[in-house]
Every structure is written in structure tokens, then in C-alpha cells.
Chains A and B, each alone.
Chain A
Amino acid sequence: MSPDGTLAAPARATALPRVVESRRRPFDWGSVVAHLLLLACVAVIAFPLYYAFVISTQTVQEVLARPPLLRPSGHLVENYLEAWNRSHMPRLLWNSAVVAVVSATGKIVMSLLSAFAIVYFNFRGKLLVFWMIFITLMLPVEVRIMSTYEVIGNLGWLNSYSGLTVPLMASATATFLFRQFYLTIPNELAEAAQLDGVGPMRFLWSFLLPLSWANFAALFVVLFIFGWNQYLWPLMITNTEAMRVVVIGLQDLIPRTGTHVPEWNVMMAAAIMALLPPVAVILFMQRWFVKGLIESEK
């Protein structure tokens, strides 16, 4: 800021008080309108979830009522119990939690180790390793679908937690994030540690890791949600009730047209149980989530 700039503004304001006054009024109206429109946006975005919740508290008769009832009814507990029992919900939620937690943890560990090697060591083939990790960004499951299935089959990992989690653990974005972070740490830290006779692994454990907690939290939140919401991968490599994850298991409850009772209330209760963990993680770990979202996209 130049001193001229800071001085000029108040000088002008005192010289032209009336003009400023008359400018104020339309300005305020504008922000009221903006608030109202933003609130309308929030309402539009929230409506589908609100409506799903409303349906999950109604009886089938209420669900089918015309005009549709937009207020919650009193059958929350029975619908949720029904959904819980009918769809093996505990097992589904457990599987999803395992996939989300294990794959996120695995990704973080693998990425921080390889980023550490890439930043703090010189070794033959470093560039090759770097590019290999980068290229995984361009090979989502969707483009190597049949052959990856075959690999899992050959390993005997169909219907197993290893099959569900290990192939998800390579992560270019997480590796880049840690690399970026290590590069911001002054070289002097590592040099000083080395002078004191601290070896590389000890340096990683006692110096780098304590500095990385914010990155862990941010990445974990984003990766947890990613893992929880996996679809194609678990669909391919699991085919038993016991190994299904919740996003897939939910489908058994969809009342397809032609089936007997359209129990959308039970369906919605199950849907809410399935979406609650990741949404709760976003809401309660908001700060980390936003950090992770923005940094992992860089």
C-alpha cells in the first residue's frame, strides 16, 4: 500500500460526505437481496436431503399421499429399525468403514514415505518413480476395469478386505501434497539433524511427522469420503452379502416398479444411514475438509 493511497481515501470521504451517504442505500439493498438469494440457494440444495428425511419418518400410506406431505411424521424409529435389520446394515456400514479408514490410512502412509524418499534422497530412477506415480492420475479404475479384475482374481483377493483396500492405496495427489509440504520445510532442519547424528528414519519420525499433522487431518477427511463412496471397485470384486459396502448394498432396498409395497420410507431411512458418516465428517471436520479439498487439487 502506498501512503498516497491510504491518505487519499479518507480525504475524499470527508470532502464528499453527501455523495457517500447517498451511495450507501442501494449498496445495502444489494446485500439484502444477495443474502435472500443465497439463502434460497441453500434451501434448494438442502431440499432433497430434507425431503428424504421426511419420507424416512412416514408410513407407506403417508409416503403415497397426494398432495405429498412435506412435514416429518412420527415413524422414524420403526423405519430405521426396519432398514437396519432388513439390509444387514451393521455389516454394510462396517465394511464401508473398513474400506474408508484402511484405504485412507494406507494412502497417507505410502504417500508420505515415497514423498520423503523423493525429496530427501538422490537415487537412480527417482524421476521414473515420480512419473509413475503421476501417471496413476490418468488410469482410473474405469479405464483398466477388466484387467484389474483379473489381477485381483489371480491374487485370490476377490471378496476380501485386501482386494477392497490395497489397490486404492496408490495416490498421486497425496504424494504431491506431502512433497509440496516437505519442500516448504527449511533445509537447515535436516542438515542440523544430520549434524547431530540423526538418521533419516529418525528424522522422518521425530521431526517431519510432528509437523505434518495438519496435512494428515486434511488428507484423511478427503480420502475417507473418497473411500466410503467407492462404487465400481467394490461392485466388481465382491459378490457376497458379507463383503458388500453400504453404497452398493443399499440398492437391494430400492422398490423397483412392479414389486409389491413401495417402501420408500425404509429405503430413505437406509439411504440416510449410508450418507450420514461422510456428511458428518465434512460438517464436524469442516476446516480440515476445506484445506484438504483445496490442497489436494493443486
Chain B
Amino acid sequence: MKRAVFRNRGLPYLLVLPQVAVTLVFFFWPAFESLRLSFFRTSPFGDRTFFVGLENFQKLLVSPDYYQSIVNSFIFALGVTALGVGAGLFVAALATQKIRGLTAYRTAVLWPYGIAPPIAGIIFLFIFHPSYGILPYWLSFVTAYEFNWLLKGGVAMALVIVATAWTHVGYNIAFFLAGLLAIPTSVLEAADVDGAGPIRRFQSIIFPLLSPITFYLVVVNLIFSFFGSFGVIHAVTQGGPGGATEIMVFKVYKDGFIGLNLGSSAAQSVILMIVVITLTALQFRFVEKKVTY
């Protein structure tokens, strides 16, 4: 650790002041308020609040709608993570020999990261469109299944998962390629000399060496898809059809902002806080391991 050099009584406080002020006013105070409100119920006119203890939480935990939103969040997060990390692993598996131009491929896959998931959602909305979309059109030759996201919850979920994963696939691939580039050539050559085929090389060398990156990416993708996914749901499906794509962060917004059920919304915020704390702790626990590449 570096030795602090400068001596000054007031200056360091002045330097941290802007950041601390923003943190207190927009992060800590609201988080504290959410925590407090989660134990209260607001009267229908919003003029009075009553202390109700854990009632908000109890109500949530017996509410089938809330369970549905938890299940939806997991399906969504696991779907996005599986697609994104799976594609990254797939590319890593393809590039087991050090082929040329890996950085060019990185450029060629990384750009969708700049696209906001809601915009990606709108593009896929058209690709999935039941009457004009190209995907239902192609699928109509293969299957008679009616590929209509307006009616079928599963299709709507697939739509938002694919759109979100699309924006993040390149990010995952880029990390895997960076990891791949860092594997010493000598190790791969040694395996080659020992007669290990591509599959064996992937299994015994590349995958184990990339596993810290894999783990890290799984956690980052989970965090992103749990908490960064409000926009795509709001822009594309609004939680529908029939609540099939209503994920937890969308429900907090809907119940609080539109339903004006402040107590319940605050309780949901608190539950989400617990989720994000767990995931962030996981991310930082393994942050040292990740540095291997």
C-alpha cells in the first residue's frame, strides 16, 4: 500500500465531497428510505403511512404473481447468460489453435455492445413479428407452430432473451479471446506434440485455463440480466403476454410507479438489494482469480 504523502486537514474532505454528496443523496438516502418504507403501508390517498411490520414481505411471499416474476427473472437471466457465455465458449473452442486475426474477429463481434437492449429489442420485435417478421416466415417452412409472441409467453420470453443476449455476446467473446491470447503458445504446442487433438486440447488445457474467466462472465452476465434488463422488457413486451415476461425489476417499477403500491414496491426493492449484494460479493470473491489471463 502506498504511503500517503500530502498533509492537509481540509483538502481531502473537499476532494471527496462531490462523490460522497451524490452517494449520500442519491444512493444511501433512497436505499434507506426503501428499507424503511418496506415496513409501512401507505393509505390509498398517499397521505398517511402505517407501520405494518413484515406484512409487505409476507404478502409478497404468498403472492403467485411475485413467484412468477422470480421464476421469469431466473429464466431470463439464465437464458441470457447461457446464450452469451455459451457463444463465448463456442468461439474459444473454435479458436483452439492460434489462428490469425483473432483481434479482427474481436472487432467484428464487439460492436453490438454499444446497442441499448431496448433498441435491440425493437429490431428483434420486427424479426419475430408474427405477420411480417423473417423468423416466423422461415420457421413456417419447418414447423406449423404458431410463432406469435403476442399470444405465446414462451415466444415473448425467447424474443427478449435473444435481443438482450445479442447486445452482450460480443462482450463475452472478447473476454474469451483475450483469455485465449494469453495462453502461452508453448503450452498448446506441447499438447500438439503430445498428439492431443482439438477436442482433447479444449477439454484438458483451454477450458481449465479459461474457467476463471467463464465464472467471472457468468456472474457479470447474471448481474447484468437481473438488473440491466428493465429497458428491453418495458420497450418490447411490457411484461406481457399475461405476465410471462414480467421480471422482478419490471414488477418493482410497475407496482410502485404505476400501481402506487409503495410498501410492496419497497419490499421488492429490499429483496432485490439482497440479490445484488449476493451477486456482487460473488463477483469480488473471484476477482483475484480472474486476473490470471
Contact = CB atoms under 8 A, between A and B. Distances in A.
Interface string A103-118: 0000001110110111
Interface stretch (A35-43, A76-84, A211-219): A35-43
B33 interface: yes
Given A41-B109, A231-B118, A250-B122, A143 B94 contact: no
Interface in A263-298: 264, 267-268, 271, 274-275, 278-283, 286, 289-290, 293-294, 297-298
B12 to A, nearest CB: 4
B64 interface: no
A145 B118 contact: no
B114 A129 contact: no
Nearest to A34: B94
Given A45-B170, A145-B257, A34 B96 contact: yes
Nearest to A297: B220
B253 interface: yes
B115 A232 contact: no
A182 B15 CA distance: 15
A136 B276 contact: no
Interface in B84-101: 87, 90-91, 94-97, 99, 101
B13 A136 contact: no
Contacts of B24: 132
B19 A133 contact: yes
Interface in A85-124: 109-111, 113-114, 116-123
Given A138-B280, A145-B269, A298 B287 contact: yes
B143 interface: no
Contact of A200 (B3, B11, B106, B109): B11
Given A133-B23, A169-B22, A119 B2 contact: yes
Contacts, number: 295
Nearest to B276: A138
A127 interface: no
Contacts of A114: 15-16, 18-20
B74 interface: no
B52 interface: no
Contacts of A5: 186
Say whether chain B's binding surface is mostly helix, strand, loop, or mixed: helix
A138 B252 CA distance: 17
Given A117-B12, A133-B23, A170-B19, A49 B5 contact: no
Interface bin, chain B: 35 or more
A247 interface: yes
B147 interface: no
Contact of A146 (B96, B97, B112, B262): B262
B67 interface: no
Interface string A223-237: 001001101100110
Interface in B172-207: 173-175, 178, 186, 192-193, 198
A251 B30 CA distance: 29
Interface residues of A, number: 106
Residue from B33, B107, B126, B257 with most neighbouring chain A CB atoms (10 Å): B126
A293 B6 contact: no
B123 A49 contact: yes
Given A113-B15, A143-B276, A271-B122, A232 B231 contact: yes
Nearest to B23: A170
Given A122-B4, A251-B235, A286-B107, A147 B34 contact: yes
Contacts of A279: 111-112, 114-115
Contacts of B123: 48-49, 51-52, 268, 271
A133 B22 CA distance: 10
Given A34-B97, A132-B23, A135-B28, 19 more contacts: A33-B94, A34-B96, A45-B108, A117-B12, A123-B9, A138-B276, A144-B33, A145-B252, A146-B262, A147-B29, A147-B269, A167-B26, A169-B22, A200-B6, A247-B118, A250-B122, A278-B116, A283-B107, A289-B110
14 contacts: A34-B95, A49-B115, A121-B11, A132-B20, A144-B34, A150-B30, A170-B23, A187-B3, A199-B6, A236-B257, A262-B132, A271-B123, A286-B110, A294-B178
Interface of B: 1-9, 11-13, 15-16, 18-20, 22-31, 33-34, 37, 87, 90-91, 94-97, 99, 101, 105-120, 122-127, 129, 132, 134, 137, 150, 166, 169-171, 173-175, 178, 186, 192-193, 198, 220, 227, 230-231, 234-235, 249, 252-253, 256-257, 262, 265-266, 269-270, 272-273, 276-277, 280, 287, 290-291
Interface of A: 5, 12, 23, 27, 30-31, 33-35, 37-38, 41-42, 45-46, 48-49, 51-52, 55, 63-64, 66-68, 109-111, 113-114, 116-123, 126, 129, 132-133, 135-140, 142-151, 166-167, 169-170, 175, 182-183, 187, 190-191, 194, 199-201, 203, 225, 228-229, 231-232, 235-236, 247-248, 250-251, 254, 257, 262, 264, 267-268, 271, 274-275, 278-283, 286, 289-290, 293-294, 297-298
